[in-house]
Amino acid sequence: MIKKIIVLITSILCILLIMSTDKVLATISDRDEKIKLIEVEIESNMKTHDIPGIAFALVDSNGIIYSKGFGILDIREDTQQIDENTNFNLGSLSKVFTTLAIMQLQEKGFLSIEDPVVDHLPWFKTRDAFMSNQITIKHLLNHSSGLPSRLNVHDVKSVDRREIIEQISDKLGNVMLVAKPGETFEYTNMNTDLLQIIIEEVSGVPFIKYMDDNIFKPLGMNRTGYFTFDNHHLSNTAMGHRYQWGKIKPYEEKLVYATSSSAGLSSNATDLAKFMMCLLNGGITPTGNLIRSNSITEIFKANKYGVGYNWYVYPHNMYMEGGLPGFTSTMVLSSDKSFGLVLLSNSKQGITYHSGFNLFRIVEGGTPKSLLGKDFPKVNSAAKIILGITIFICIILISVLGLTCYNLAKGRHRVAFAKPSFSRFCVIIFLLVLYFGVMYYIYVLLPFYVGVPSLFNFKKEPDVTSGLIIFSIVHTLFFLVLFLKILIIQKVKQIQSV
């Protein structure tokens, strides 16, 4: 009887073991299939859209499921391959780390996100001081401060804290809020740049040191830091690339210290995987708690615009993206915090953002969307319009010059100055107003609305920038020819009558 019981128990255990093994094998098979689909998706998009290099990492709360590098660091040296430890500039993905630091400081009692900004930065005020006094740290975190989107500190080149504060104060002094604080979503880098100064103020240490000591080192992110203004000492760093009139070209940009918190971080797939694991585990790291789980919950709590604290929050996922003239980055976490992924690229293209969500769909068991080349043009549509207008003006200019030369050769026109009539004078005034109005818009108003000191600093869309410069040259030549034609090219009959 006892032998029968032992045999029965042994049989049951064997069956359970076989069933468990089958389940594990099925999970491994499913994982391998998804990894294969991920690689196909990445390699296909790289080929279709001329992306030099990509790094990718997929994690769950237990660790890294998969990470790999694809492509090359620099198209000028195609022997240097990207791997999971290759550093990329993150752009606005840097903001999620600044958010973590603010929440950490709140836990330590240094601040509350409900504090008015002016409590920590007494110099902080816009043109309407009463309104700006109502802006809280929370408003900066979820971009509801009312500060206009064009504001940034990209032109603040000093590393001296006092000089940075002075220049930012000057910028803010002439600004009107776009809405009452808390009433609307207006994304601007200035919100996070102000958080950088608040972190320095309440912690008493430079921003970079605080982040390194309290965020990166505890997470074991050994190759992560604010190297975008000085990365020559760091090996295995990708070169940025961007399209210029349909051709991909290398592009290197050094960001200023003042924008470290909003766009200045450099990292890699391996280090970012550690950061995602911390979020998925409720703030727990191998060395202890980095941040409390309720703080992470608060970070991902969406307002009415679907925005958390420097995260976009949707029913199925939470994500943040970043972009610099030569780089893009996308980080996506599942809403149940079961997994997360990050995609880094050394090319400034919208396709990489969509690639990140395609990879998210694959992991969830869905079907990725087709990302066709025609849907992501290599030349900016605005640049095409500018080029078309420029060519049209060139045709008119050549026609006017050709016709004028022909009439001069035939003796119908001669070069002679004549006092313009009232009607011609009115035409000249109209043309002058039109000429300077267009030039004022291109070189003054447009940079102001974009948020750059001058047109030459508008680096995100090089085709638009170069197109506008070419247009302004042709525009000037065209009006110069018109003025000369009106003033000194006269019909023979007109000269005789004078």
| Structural domain boundaries, residue 81 | 52-364
- Of the pLDDT bands very low, low, confident and very high (cuts 50, 70, 90), residue 20 is very low
Q: Computed over its alpha carbons, how large is the radius of gyration of the chain?
A: 30
Lowest-confidence region among 232-236, 265-269, 325-329, 433-437: 232-236
Structural domains counted in the chain: 2
- Of the pLDDT bands very low, low, confident and very high (cuts 50, 70, 90), residue 482 is confident
Q: Which helix (H) or strand (E) holds 200?
A: helix 189-203
- Asked whether residue 215 falls in the same domain as residue 117, the answer is yes
Where among 364, 391, 407 does a domain terminate? Answer: 364
- Asked whether residue 209 falls in the same domain as residue 354, the answer is yes
pLDDT at 2: 57
- Asked whether residue 352 falls in the same domain as residue 429, the answer is no
497 pLDDT higher than 70: no
Where among 364, 391, 421 does a domain terminate? Answer: 364
Residue 15 domain-assigned (yes or no): no
The average pLDDT across 196-209 equals: 97
Which residues is 126 bridged to in the sheet? Answer: none
Residue 109 domain-assigned (yes or no): yes
Residue 177 domain-assigned (yes or no): yes
Lowest-confidence region among 20-29, 69-78, 143-152: 20-29
Where among 337, 364, 391 does a domain terminate? Answer: 364
The average pLDDT across 196-201 equals: 98
Q: HSE (CB half, 13 Å, CA atoms) of 474?
A: 19
- What is the 8-class DSSP label of residue 76? T
Residue 2 domain-assigned (yes or no): no
> What whole-number distance in Å separates Cα of residue 152 and Cα of residue 70?
33
If one counts every other C-beta atom within 10 angstroms of the C-beta of residue 432, the result is: 12
Q: Structure tokens of 444?
A: 């003054």
The average pLDDT across 239-260 equals: 89
CA dihedral 43, 45, 47, 48 (to 10 degrees): 160
- Asked whether residue 343 falls in the same domain as residue 401, the answer is no
CATH number of the domain residue 84 falls in: 3.40.710.10
Q: Is the dihedral of CA 145, 202, 229, 330 positive or negative?
A: negative
% of the chain with per-residue pLDDT over 70 = 91
Alpha helix ranges (H) inside 242-377: 260-263, 269-280, 293-299, 351-363
- Asked whether residue 154 falls in the same domain as residue 260, the answer is yes
pLDDT at 476: 94
pLDDT at 349: 81
The average pLDDT across 240-269 equals: 91
Residue 37 domain-assigned (yes or no): no
The average pLDDT across 387-413 equals: 88
Residue 41 domain-assigned (yes or no): no
Residue 26 domain-assigned (yes or no): no
Does 159 or 414 have the greater pLDDT score? 159
- Asked whether residue 254 falls in the same domain as residue 322, the answer is yes
Coil, helix or strand at residue 226: coil
Q: Give pLDDT tens digits for 3-18.
A: 555 544 555 544 444 4
- Asked whether residue 394 falls in the same domain as residue 469, the answer is yes
- Asked whether residue 227 falls in the same domain as residue 321, the answer is yes
Residue 46 domain-assigned (yes or no): no
Cβ within 8 Å of residue 53, ≥6 positions away: 46, 69, 70, 71, 72, 73, 82, 86, 238, 345, 346, 347
Highest mean pLDDT among 48-52, 56-60, 402-406: 56-60
- Asked whether residue 319 falls in the same domain as residue 424, the answer is no
- Asked whether residue 304 falls in the same domain as residue 388, the answer is no
- Asked whether residue 82 falls in the same domain as residue 150, the answer is yes
- Of the pLDDT bands very low, low, confident and very high (cuts 50, 70, 90), residue 246 is confident
Lowest-confidence region among 39-48, 216-225, 349-358: 349-358
> pTM of this prediction?
0.85
Give CA angle at 144 (138, 145), nearest 5°: 80
- Asked whether residue 223 falls in the same domain as residue 298, the answer is yes
> What whole-number distance in Å separates Cα of residue 212 and Cα of residue 461?
33
Are 162 and 169 in contact, with CB atoms under 8 Å apart?
no
Closest C-alpha to 311, from 323, 298, 327: 298
pLDDT at 22: 36
